[in-house]
Amino acid sequence: MIWIRAILLSIFLVGPAQAVEPDEVLSDPFLEARARNLSKELRCIVCQNESIDESNASLARDLRILVRERLASGDSDQQAIDFIVARYGEFVLLRPQVSGANIVLWLAAPVVFLMAGALAIAYLHGRSRARPAQGTPLSDTEEARIAELIKDD
């Protein structure tokens, strides 16, 4: 029982593993904190759903080093982000900006969803008002045959 508690405690105490290696860490703790915050906002181009702070890919390591170099050279956080976006495109941002052509992408999904809902409502409304199909009535021989089949079962 103690072993299970110890294992569970160790699982909860261990946070998500960070990929930042000791040789990447800046000596200035303030700059390092800024670099870590920026690294959490940038997407690993190889892994795509991980930040460069979490990724072990070599390109993510290169981006982490580049962020630290830019900050060490005196860039502001926004200047470092702008430099990387200019180099790799807006895809590198985990939270892309809502501006320009991106507005179309941000609004497309809700608009398509609302249009699909309106079409579904119109279709269902039209079906409820439609008349049932008028078929030709059965002849006397067909009705007699059906009655005979039902009687046999």
* CATH at 79: 1.10.8.640
| Integer CA distances (angstroms), 95 to 41, 50, 90, 98, in order | 7, 12, 9, 9
Cβ neighbours for 51, distance < 8 A, ≥ 6 positions apart:
39, 40, 41, 42, 43, 44, 94
Q: Report yes or no on 23 lying in a domain.
A: yes
pLDDT confidence of 115, banded at 50, 70, 90? very high
Q: Does 115 map to a domain?
A: yes
pLDDT single digits (tens) 36-75: 888 888 988 888 788 888 888 888 888 888 998 998 888 8
Q: Lowest-pLDDT range, 4-13, 40-49, 83-92, 115-124?
A: 4-13
Do both 11 and 50 map to the same domain?
yes
Inside any domain, residue 147? no
153 or 58: which leads in pLDDT: 58
My answer on whether 103 and 49 are in the same domain is no
Domain membership of residue 151 (yes or no) is no
Please report whether residue 146 resides in a domain: no
Cα gap 94→96, rounded to integer Å: 6
Statement to judge: residues 34 and 105 lie in one domain:
no
User: How confident is the model over 21-27, as a mean pLDDT?
Assistant: 66
* Confidence check: pLDDT of 15 > 60: no
If asked whether residues 53 and 124 sit together in one domain, one would say no
pLDDT value of position 118: 94
Q: Whole domain around residue 61: which residue ranges?
A: 2-92
On the question of pLDDT at 113 being above 90, the answer is yes
**Same domain as 77, residue 117:** no
Cβ burial 128-142 (10 Å sphere, 16+ → b, else e): eeeeeeeeeeeeeee
Query: In one letter, which amino acid is 89?
Result: G
Q: Is 95 exposed, middle or buried (0-12, 13-18, 19+ CB in 10 A)?
A: exposed
- What is the domain count for the chain? 2
Q: What is the residue-wise DSSP string for 86-132?
A: HHH-GGGBSS----TTHHHHHHHHHHHHHHHHHHHHHHHHHHHHSPP
Q: Say if 48 falls within a structural domain.
A: yes
**pLDDT 10s digits, 75-109:** 898 999 999 999 988 888 888 777 777 778 778 88
pLDDT at residue number 16: 45
Tell me what the pLDDT averaged over the chain comes to.
Answer: 81
